[in-house]
Structure 1
Amino acid sequence: MASRPHQKDLTTGPIGPTLLAFALPTLGANILQTLNGSINTIWVGRFLGESAVSATANANTIMFLMFAAVFGFGMAATILIGQSMGRRDVEAARRAFGAAIGLVLAGSVVIATLGWVFTPDILHALATPPAAMPLALAYLRVIFLGLPASMLLVLLGMALRGVGDSVTPLWFTGLSVLLDSGLNPVFIKGLFGMPALGIAGSATATLIANHVAALGLLAVVYRRDLPIRLRGPELRYLLPSADLVRTIVTKGLPMGAQMLVVSVAGLTMTGLVNSYGVDTSAAYGVSMQLWAYIQMPALALGAAVSSMAAQNIGAAKWDRVEAITRSGLLFSAIITTTMVGVIILFDRPVMALFLGGGSHALPIARHIQVLASWNFIIFGMTMVLFSTVRANGAVWAPLVMLLIAMFPVRLGFAFGLMPSLHADALWWSFPLGSIANFVMALGYYRYGNWRSQRLAVPPAQAHQQAQTDAEPAGRLHPTG
């Protein structure tokens, strides 16, 4: 099948090389995003101190929670797009994309508004250290303003991966990172005649970068006439039919809830960490920066497995779905193990970039790495299994498994053993929860009923006729 530049048919060709070739641009985008967060944390830590680092760690945890509230809808639509492309049904992919844009942007505007209003209450509920409270408040409120643009940027990247293009999102992630990291010191310190905004300047740089990158990526979708673009009567897909809303919401809510579960568990853990003081809070914040790098290969492979599995499920090529999963598990285990080893070997000089060589938080952060980092090897393999089953619309079982792993296992262990192990109970709870989650995920993948479930774009109603009148082919070739 012919395809546009960067756009791949994921239902043919060798499994392993195709999976790696598709995952590498996603990994590159993840590296750039995480590097951007690290650079911004370095700017904040060097210019504003440990309290500011603690403030950004608390604020970013909250943003993940807000992000999760609408992200599941985008995930559901992306799977619909991938399956539709596997069936060569481009119109169905466009209807799913339009629905995702309409639902996610509307949801993000609501979440951003509520977040702005209730930022002080959220930070108090999180037990943010008093020294970090005013900084976290200033930072988070500006970040909320940029939530719709952030969601649009992520959603466009997900949709492009659904149609087999993982390269274009990489370039615009690079643009966003270049702008964000470059503008951070400008707005923090007030360089080149700009106002000196302190920690709010870091958030302002992120806001500007995300708006520029999202609008630029949207322009490329139309300039290249990619399959997901909407024109003329297709723009009414932004107001989706009730059946399509029901499909996306029914599948999207459990997937979004999985992120909410992780977020609530993370908020609870952050509250426990904060109870040990600013040094431990700052050490945990820097540890999360390094963990973001360790997770990157697993997340990239998970995204690639999901996109490949969705297209192959749409094409009814189940033998390839099994091979994709096996390759994903192998690659995830090898690459993540390597990442853990490298991070532990070189953790001190890297952490000193954030905290300075004489910081009291540095030995705490190194201790956290030794006890908890290896859990991401198991985490990565679990993400591959979840990505496969979710690609066929099986979303409730992963949610239940995640709930069990996060709360009765991870947090139950942490709360139960804090009196005897103190802060070490928090760090040991990470691998324990990951092991429980992997065992359940493997059992469900091998013996569950996920293969019999289906996720499909509902047939178009009356408005489809208006679209076909304007564009004669209801089922288009993926090249448009």
Structure 2
Amino acid sequence: MSTAPPANPLLTGPILPILLRFSLPNMVAMLATALAAIAETSYVGHFGAPALAGMALVFPFVMLQTMLSAGAMGGGVSSAVSRALGAGDASRANVLAVHALWIGMAMGLAFMLMMEVCGPAFMSALGGKGEALAQAVAYGEVAFAGSVFVWIVNTLSSVIRGSGNMKVPSVTLFAVALAQVLLGGALGLGWGPLPEWGMRGVAAGGVLANAAGALYLWGYLASGRGKITLRMRSTTLHRQHLMDILRVGAVACISPLQTVLIILILTRLVASFGTQALAGYGIGTRLEFLLVPIAFAVGVASVPVVGMAIGAGNIARARQAAWTAAAVATVLLGALGLAVTWVPDVWTTLYTQDPSVRESAASYFAWAGPFYGFFGLGLSLYFSSLGAGKAVGPVLAGALRLLVVAVGGSLLAYLQAPAWMIFALVGAGMAVYGLSTVLIIRMTPWGNPAAKA
């Protein structure tokens, strides 16, 4: 007598509890990664102002690599795996995992070569010179030599997330962040009997931590302990499987590039108002650096739920999961944004007691803080769209935000507008991003609503 296979809870269970259960471990891991970057900055502070300036030059490229590997391409990987599992094709999911790993290793090598060859020129173009540029190059030469490990960790984490398992990648990333803090401090500052290797030592801590994380996740998947089994030797590469990942992930990679351009434009605009205004803006963006992991955690949690529903043909459930995740992200980031709008000193006094800088930061939060919820709304829907295999819409919304910031910023610079108008432009860009993403997703068909597994 045959028995029916057990129902997949991601296809039948209540959506909100699933999303909350998935989001929490992701949030802890992402916040740990953000705090590891803050700890690195603290270590670099021991080497003086030129080293801090060098860290500011190299940091955008470090963040770009993370956004590309964990968010954009990672979302494409999770989407492909979850859609295969939702369709009941576990063997295809295993094959896609191998293709994802090859893509991750190739992208890691490409990023390494680009930064090792062109990194000094990129950082010089950002205004780096003298000792600051030398310190940035010293960090980058070591950090980007380990790009392959970063891409492997984030690719394999995305494979596991696509199967609906958030615990293993979250625990692994938390351990990687902790190891990065300890190894970076030990090698950079020369704790105990170790020599002080400076910027290169701080960067080496991250390389070693990610190498250990990559080795563990590879072993975990190869052992067959999860829903996905990594069979490198017996899997032949096929173009159709590569394209299943790249048609989502490659398009999604445009979004991080848009984000970096927006940051560069706004930084250049605010810098024209002097050191105090730039310092206040910097304090505001540090808070956003901690807010992004929250939206990321919720959005990534929606990818397997949406992807499996799409694979099973249940379009209504996929959309319900996307809107539910968006509501959670909007409420969380909106509440935090309103909190710093009303009481900005709760955050700003952690960094400075300078009245003029605190005033600048308060002005930033007054105009940008109320719109944080829109940013969470757009970012969460971006990941849900990756789960549905529809990356173009959110990228168009990001392009619209970039257009608003670029055109609006140019106009304000021409009119020599006050700093608060630049901060208001930040909020307007977030609102445009969130609302346009909602509109585009509502207009984009995700499949036949009548089709169900």
**TM-score class normalised by the smaller sequence:** 0.7 to 0.9
Relative distance call for 1:247 and 1:261 in structure 2 (3 A) is same
Q: Of the candidates 308, 327, 335, which is equivalent to residue 305 of structure 2?
A: 308
Relative distance call for 1:440 and 1:264 in structure 2 (3 A) is same
Distance 2:44 2:359 in 1: 20
The one-letter amino acid paired with 1:412 is V
Distance 1:149 1:266 in 2: 26
Matching residue of 2:174: 174
SS at match of 1:427: helix
Task: Judge conservation of contact 2:69–2:155 (CA < 8 Å) in 1.
Answer: no
Q: Of the candidates 437, 443, 449, which is equivalent to residue 441 of structure 1?
A: 437
Matching residue of 1:26: 26
Matching residue of 2:17: 17
1:372 is aligned to 2:353: no
Task: Judge conservation of contact 1:78–1:97 (CA < 8 Å) in 2.
Answer: no
Matching residue of 1:318: 315
Matching residue of 2:428: 432
Relative distance call for 1:356 and 1:417 in structure 2 (3 A) is closer
The one-letter amino acid paired with 1:19 is L
The one-letter amino acid paired with 1:64 is M
SS at match of 1:451: coil
Relative distance call for 1:286 and 1:51 in structure 2 (3 A) is farther
Distance 2:358 2:145 in 1: 33
Matching residue of 2:405: 410
Distance 1:198 1:255 in 2: 36
Task: Judge conservation of contact 1:128–1:274 (CA < 8 Å) in 2.
Answer: no
SS at match of 2:228: coil
Q: Of the candidates 290, 293, 298, which is equivalent to residue 293 of structure 1?
A: 290
The one-letter amino acid paired with 1:175 is A
> How many angstroms does 1:340 deviate by?
2.3
Matching residue of 1:469: none
Task: Judge conservation of contact 1:94–1:230 (CA < 8 Å) in 2.
Answer: yes
Task: Judge conservation of contact 1:128–1:271 (CA < 8 Å) in 2.
Answer: no
- Give the share of equivalent positions with the same residue, in percent: 21
Distance 1:439 1:105 in 2: 36
Distance 1:279 1:187 in 2: 34
Q: Of the candidates 328, 332, 338, which is equivalent to residue 331 of structure 1?
A: 328
SS at match of 1:193: coil
Task: Judge conservation of contact 2:251–2:391 (CA < 8 Å) in 1.
Answer: yes
The one-letter amino acid paired with 2:238 is S
Relative distance call for 1:146 and 1:368 in structure 2 (3 A) is farther
SS at match of 1:252: helix
Task: Judge conservation of contact 1:280–1:361 (CA < 8 Å) in 2.
Answer: yes
SS at match of 1:421: coil
Relative distance call for 1:187 and 1:368 in structure 2 (3 A) is farther
SS at match of 1:394: coil
Distance 2:147 2:279 in 1: 25
Distance 1:244 1:363 in 2: 53
Aligned positions, number: 443
1:48 is aligned to 2:43: no
Relative distance call for 1:209 and 1:303 in structure 2 (3 A) is same
The TM-score normalised by the length of structure 1 is 0.83
The TM-score normalised by the length of structure 2 is 0.88
Distance 1:280 1:240 in 2: 53
Q: Of the candidates 237, 255, 261, which is equivalent to residue 258 of structure 2?
A: 261
Task: Judge conservation of contact 2:338–2:369 (CA < 8 Å) in 1.
Answer: no
The one-letter amino acid paired with 1:63 is V
Distance 2:145 2:107 in 1: 13
> How many angstroms does 1:371 deviate by?
3.0
The one-letter amino acid paired with 1:306 is V
Matching residue of 2:83: 83
Matching residue of 1:101: 101
1:132 is aligned to 2:132: yes
Farther off after superposition, 408-417 or 130-139: 130-139
Task: Judge conservation of contact 1:77–1:99 (CA < 8 Å) in 2.
Answer: no
RMSD value, Cα: 2.8
Farther off after superposition, 128-137 or 286-295: 128-137
Matches within 5 A, 1:448-467: 448-451=444-447
1:389 is aligned to 2:373: no
Deviations 1:85-115 (A, max 9, x none): 1122111111111111101211211211120
The one-letter amino acid paired with 2:425 is S
Distance 2:268 2:298 in 1: 31
The one-letter amino acid paired with 1:414 is G
> How many angstroms does 1:58 deviate by?
2.8
The one-letter amino acid paired with 2:436 is M
Task: Judge conservation of contact 1:38–1:289 (CA < 8 Å) in 2.
Answer: no
Distance 2:51 2:238 in 1: 46
Matches within 5 A, 1:166-245: 166-223=166-223, 225-231=225-231, 235-237=233-235, 240-245=237-242
Distance 1:167 1:338 in 2: 27
Distance 1:262 1:223 in 2: 38
SS at match of 2:332: helix
> How many angstroms does 1:189 deviate by?
2.1
Distance 1:278 1:186 in 2: 33
Deviations 1:316-355 (A, max 9, x none): 22232232123223212221123224455675465555x5
Distance 2:130 2:357 in 1: 18
1:58 is aligned to 2:54: no
> How many angstroms does 1:127 deviate by?
2.3
Q: Which blocks of at least 5 consecutive residues in structure 1 are unaligned? A: 454-480
Task: Judge conservation of contact 1:61–1:266 (CA < 8 Å) in 2.
Answer: no
Matching residue of 2:165: 165
Task: Judge conservation of contact 1:414–1:425 (CA < 8 Å) in 2.
Answer: no
Relative distance call for 1:412 and 1:130 in structure 2 (3 A) is farther
Relative distance call for 1:404 and 1:345 in structure 2 (3 A) is closer
Task: Judge conservation of contact 1:73–1:100 (CA < 8 Å) in 2.
Answer: no
Distance 1:344 1:182 in 2: 35
Q: Which blocks of at least 5 consecutive residues in structure 2 are unaligned? A: none
Task: Judge conservation of contact 2:334–2:371 (CA < 8 Å) in 1.
Answer: no
Distance 1:114 1:321 in 2: 38
Relative distance call for 1:333 and 1:114 in structure 2 (3 A) is closer
> How many angstroms does 1:425 deviate by?
4.2
The one-letter amino acid paired with 1:235 is R
Task: Judge conservation of contact 1:34–1:289 (CA < 8 Å) in 2.
Answer: no
